[in-house]
Amino acid sequence: MKDIFFLLFIALGASATAAPTQINCLSWRLAVETNNIPDWKTVPPQCKSYVSEYMTGQQYRDDCNAVVDAAIEYAKTLNVSKDGKDLWVFNIDETTLSNVPYYARPTVGFGATKPNVLKFESWIKEGKSPAVPGALRLYQTLLGLGIKPIFITDTKEEFKQVRMDNLKKVGYHSWFKFICKGKNDSSIYSEHSGNWKTQKRAELVKAGYRLVGNLGGWGDIIVDFLMRTYKMPNPMYFF
């Protein structure tokens, strides 16, 4: 009898503590990937292990490759002109270079803890990012087709050189432009002008270039009126 009371006490105690809400982490990931849940800050604590397993497992690699396959199929249908003005926009973080080794650190927890800019920047300075699965395959295909790759990245000007060296080290040997985020450039999305990346793309179009494709995250493809877009999977952070 005492045992029953003890068990009841344990059971009530467990339900009384702030138990995290049940959540289907695959549904959460889909909602994030389709932008049904936009502008989110951190991975729900209940989904930390799920995101960890996903990002380090085969499914993430296959998902990246499926996006790249679709982009390559599309690129091959394009009539590339000979004036050298056909450009393809690449983002860097989780698009061409992977920060998974950083996100795997216990203090970072695959996006489940609040971002720490200084720690992230010291990781960037190490220049040790591997390539994102599949991305090099698209990059090489585009070069073969005569479409020039350009990078538009949230990387700060002060990390430009280390980032370019990192890109070269993993196989992205050349590009037409490398556009970093300036001090006054804002990532905040405005209904009329998009964000700073939207503006940079618009400037290129105004200068006579054709942006034929864009591989990135939500921060790259939201309100992109100019071209077909592709989004790389990334359930670790929003932009």
Interaction site with its own copies (CB under 8 A):
24, 26-28, 30-31, 33-38, 59, 62-63, 65-67, 70-71, 223, 225, 228-231, 233
In three state form, how does the secondary structure of 55-91 look? HHCHHHHHHHHHHHHHHHHHHHCCCCCCCCCEEEEEC
Q: Least Å distance between CB 231 and its own copies? A: 5
When the beta carbons of 180 and 215 are compared against its own copies, the nearer one is 215
* SS3 category, 93: strand
In three state form, how does the secondary structure of the chain look? CHHHHHHHHHHHHHHHCCCCCCCCHHHHHHHHHCCCCCCCCCCCHHHHHHHHHHHHCHHHHHHHHHHHHHHHHHHHCCCCCCCCCEEEEECCECCCECCHHHHCCCCCHHHCCCCCHHHHHHHHHHCCCCECCCHHHHHHHHHHHCCEEEEEEEEEHHHHHHHHHHHHHHCCCCCCEEEEECCCCCCCCECCCECHHHHHHHHHHHCCCEEEEEEECHHHHCCCCCCCEEECCCCCCCC
Q: Least Å distance between CB 24 and its own copies? A: 4
Q: Least Å distance between CB 188 and its own copies? A: 16
When the beta carbons of 72 and 162 are compared against its own copies, the nearer one is 72
When the beta carbons of 111 and 217 are compared against its own copies, the nearer one is 217
When the beta carbons of 161 and 190 are compared against its own copies, the nearer one is 190
Q: Least Å distance between CB 84 and its own copies? A: 24
When the beta carbons of 46 and 181 are compared against its own copies, the nearer one is 46
Q: Least Å distance between CB 82 and its own copies? A: 24
* SS3 category, 150: strand
When the beta carbons of 43 and 71 are compared against its own copies, the nearer one is 71
Q: Least Å distance between CB 225 and its own copies? A: 8
- Note whether 205 and 225 are within 8 A (CB): no
When the beta carbons of 33 and 176 are compared against its own copies, the nearer one is 33
Q: Least Å distance between CB 233 and its own copies? A: 7
